Chain A
């Protein structure tokens, strides 16, 4: 199986920048996904990284270091609507199975 770790909860202020970390140990790495999940709703796709480095997508960026088994999601100019859980996930070597971290609940305060 896979071992994926994320902080349980974080708090940040509206307008600020927050970094949500995810570390993983996998047998055969095939990239890493980030999903956003608002309370009581379904997860929705944010990003997928398979190569090292930072990928920017508007206010959200995702970083990957394969040598360190580490990824982070960077959220800039935080808005209240960014209050949600953020889930990282890694696929199996053949993309048949998916392993999710327990999620990081982000609270954005005014």
Chain B
């Protein structure tokens, strides 16, 4: 089954404790992206990746890091989480980042930072 998976689905952590949210897709997609979703603000793009070893900032990259060492995986790293990073996070992938391709979203990771 074609899908995007994220782990963990739920995470409660404390300020400053480094964490990684994994994202994996099995569709051989070139383009992957991370979003956060907050009430009243909609989906905001954090980082995106056009292909292996090619990543760039979205609209809200502060406090986040990403890497793309393999085509299927695109982990999101919070080196020192803060309470304002409490949010619902979605990973997404699409065939390519150079055309009008639909994005396939993972199930989401609900992160709470206390």
Contact = CB atoms under 8 A, between A and B. Distances in A.
Contact of A95 (B100, B104, B106, B108): B100
Q: How large is the interface on A (under 10, 10 to 19, 20 to 34, 35 or more residues)?
A: 20 to 34
A27 interface: no
A1 interface: yes
Contacts, number: 60
Given A1-B59, A42-B90, A43-B90, A98 B42 contact: no
Contacts of B35: 100
A33 interface: yes
A43 B105 CA distance: 6
Q: How large is the interface on B (under 10, 10 to 19, 20 to 34, 35 or more residues)?
A: 20 to 34
Contacts of B100: 30-31, 33, 48, 50, 91, 95
Interface of A: 1, 8, 30-31, 33, 40-45, 48, 50, 87, 89, 91, 94-103
Interface of B: 4, 33, 35, 40-45, 48, 50, 56, 58-59, 90, 96-108
Across chains A and B, which 4 residue pairs bring their CB atoms closest together, nearest first?
A45-B102, A42-B105, A102-B42, A100-B43
